[in-house]
Amino acid sequence: MIVDIDDAPCPRCDGTAADHLGGRDVQCCYCGHLVTLKRPPVLPKVEARPEAWRFPSGRFAGLTLEEAAAAPNGVRYLEHMAENDARVRDFLQLTRQTVSG
Ligand SMILES: [Zn+2]
């Protein structure tokens, strides 16, 4: 994971980006110099992936669209559902584009 070391640049090359090796240890991205910081680097926030939509009820309750499509006859059911559900329709369209393109 790359971290900013603006407040404690690499002593060899003055680089301000380093690969976090764990704890207070980092390796300069520019020259490879190993640096032990006075305090652990501030880790960039990893953006959590939004939770996938899941079927609230019915045959596929608790499954995502991907999981439902992988179920036996899943795609056939989804095609049937797509007539009344824009979310399922969009998913199937996307899947077909992915397969064909
Ligand atoms: Zn360096």
Please tell me the distance between residue 10's alpha carbon and the centre of ligand 1 in angstroms: 5
Find the angle CA(80)-CA(81)-CA(82) to the nearest 5 degrees.
95
pLDDT tens readout for residues 3-50: 999 989 999 999 999 999 999 999 999 999 999 999 998 887 766 667
Higher pLDDT, 79 or 44: 79
- What integer pLDDT is reported at residue 18 of this predicted model? 95
pTM of the model: 0.47
Helix (H) or strand (E) holding 77: helix 74-82
**Residues whose beta carbons lie less than 5 angstroms from ion ligand 1:** 10, 12-13, 15, 28, 30-31, 33
| Both structure tokens of 35 | 């640096």
